[in-house]
Amino acid sequence: MKNLIQLTGVSKTFHNGQEEVSALKNINLTLEQQDYLAIVGPSGAGKSTLLHIMGGLDMPSKGSISSSDKDIYVMKESERALWRNKVVGFVFQFYHLIEELNVLENVAVSALRESRKSAFKKAEKLLEYLEIAGRKNFFPSQLSGGEKQKVALARALINEPEIILCDEPTGNLDKYSQDRVVELFEKLNKEKAKTVVIVTHNLELAKRAKKVIILKNGEIVR
């Protein structure tokens, strides 16, 4: 399998006044094509920090994050933004949909650097694939939590990323909606060969992943 992202000796420290806090300590991790990885651990273990560093959103204090043999944090910010746009799709606990846009527009907006016609065509196809095309003219305020997360997932997928990084993607959903969203991740992993990484407190969700790592006090303990 192709290696997509490799983390080598990654550490992250923050300063809280005069105190130095270690969020991550010497993390070594490789993401391969079609991996389905769950990252679990208690609150404050460093799970979201690890996800953000992996996705090019937060620079590590030490170590390297390589993609196609290039350290993404040696790139210029503009290069890293382009890498992020092509390689990674993000899904968060809070959907971050634009309330003034309908579902179709919320999905298409991330691809508008292509032609408008192409962006909307791709958005329509994704909504059909995720079985929410019937809501394309609805606004976020008219959707359930599960429907909003499907729209957020469609938006993450529109630029055809290799990797989907998800931060507590089912945290605000009821059990039925959680199961439907997880089924979509499994479908994308199997049918579209997407690499999926999920940060979660939900151990039932984590058990459905192909691989699980446990973070504690910023270190991988399993």
Residue 178's pLDDT is what? 86
- Average of pLDDT values for 70-97? 90
Structural domains in the chain?
A: 3-220 (3.40.50.300)
pLDDT in tens, 16-59: 778 888 999 999 999 999 999 999 998 889 999 999 999 999 99
* C-alpha R_g of the chain: 17
Give the tokens for residue 155: 């938006």
Nearest to 215 by CA among 38, 21, 88, 91: 38
Residue 1's pLDDT is what? 67
pLDDT at 112 over 80: no
Residue 128's pLDDT is what? 93
Alpha carbon dihedral 87, 1, 58, 171, in 10-degree steps, equals 90
- Average of pLDDT values for 72-100? 91
Confidence of residue 117 (pLDDT cuts 50, 70, 90): confident
Q: Among the listed ranges 113-122, 128-137, 187-196, which one has the minimum average pLDDT value?
A: 113-122
- In the sheet where 3-16 sits, what is the strand order? 19-32, 3-16, 62-67, 70-71
Residue 170's pLDDT is what? 84
pLDDT in tens, 201-213: 888 889 999 999 9
Nearest to 49 by CA among 160, 165, 133, 157: 165
- Average of pLDDT values for 173-186? 87
Average pLDDT, the chain: 91
Confidence of residue 156 (pLDDT cuts 50, 70, 90): very high
